[in-house]
Amino acid sequence: MSVWRAIAAAALFAAAPALLAGEIPPDARRSGYSFMGPDTRAMQDDDTSNPGMLFVLEGEALWAKKTGSAEKACADCHGDARSSMKGVAARYPAFDKALGRPITLDQRINLCRANHQQAAPLPYEGRDLLALSAFVAHQSRGVAITAGDDPQVKPFVEQGRELFMQREGQLNLACTNCHDDNFDKRLAGAPITQGQPTGYPLYRLEWQTLGSLERRLRSCMSGVRAQAYDYGSPELVALELYLMSRARGLSMETPAVRP
């Protein structure tokens, strides 16, 4: 009897994707939503009172707007984003063959602008890029995250994981110290979450506006008194890729609301 149990257990573990050391097991993964109070959750739940949706609306307008010397709109190639963009954000950052490395959704938008619209890249964290990426990512709301599955990105996921585990800054803290080892506890009154990026770009009450995952990561790095990596840097892309793969299975929530 116990032999069969052992075989069943072994089969179960063999079937599940291998967990890297220290990773939160899939059934214990929780979105930041579950760490918030009811008032903030209510703000996210209703599309007509979620401030992030204002940016999604702006992005929808930009999607249809002709731009660049090619005078093309995103819609001209991609049609209705509701169908063409569904599931896209859930698998980003994704491998770009031409560049030979993973890129973020923001970078993909700018590459499209350069290659197909002959338009100048939108500045990182500028309103237009945030609105467009919010609109695109919103089409994946409810879709389970699968970023990091592509074998081509494995070395970059590993690079991101190393960055996640590495102590940094004057406070000498690594991401894992709080977000793997101490979630559910509090830091100066605020709950420590698992750091699952399910809702980006999101409306952060602290910012009073929409912001990207890169902005959040840079804030965390400044928070431990480390020099933050630049927007679009390979380190931030690798970190974002690792974080998304660590969140595998959780559903996208864009645009989320967070304190």
Binding site for other proteins (CB under 8 A): 36-37, 39-40, 42-43, 47-51, 53-54, 57-58, 61, 123-127, 187-190, 205-209, 215, 218-220, 222-224, 227-228, 230-231, 259
Report the residue number, 152 or 166, with the smaller CB distance to other proteins. Answer: 166
Rounded to a whole number of angstroms, the minimum distance from the CB of residue 241 to other proteins is 21
Report the residue number, 53 or 147, with the smaller CB distance to other proteins. Answer: 53
Q: Which structure tokens are listed for 237?
A: 């892309």
Rounded to a whole number of angstroms, the minimum distance from the CB of residue 18 to other proteins is 33
Q: Could you give the angle at which helices 213-223 and 234-246 cross, rounded to 10 degrees?
A: 100
Known catalytic residue at 77: no
Rounded to a whole number of angstroms, the minimum distance from the CB of residue 95 to other proteins is 26
Residues 223, 169: Cα–Cα separation, whole Å: 9
Three-class secondary structure assignment of 22-55: CCCCHHHCCCHHHHCCHHHHHHHHCCCCCCHHHH
Radius of gyration of the chain (CA): 19
Report the residue number, 23 or 125, with the smaller CB distance to other proteins. Answer: 125
Strand partners, 257: 203
Report the residue number, 25 or 37, with the smaller CB distance to other proteins. Answer: 37
Rounded to a whole number of angstroms, the minimum distance from the CB of residue 215 to other proteins is 6
What is the helix (H) or strand (E) element at residue 204, kind and residue range?
A: strand 202-204
Catalytic annotation, pick one of 74, 175, 178, 220:
220
Active site residue ranges: 220
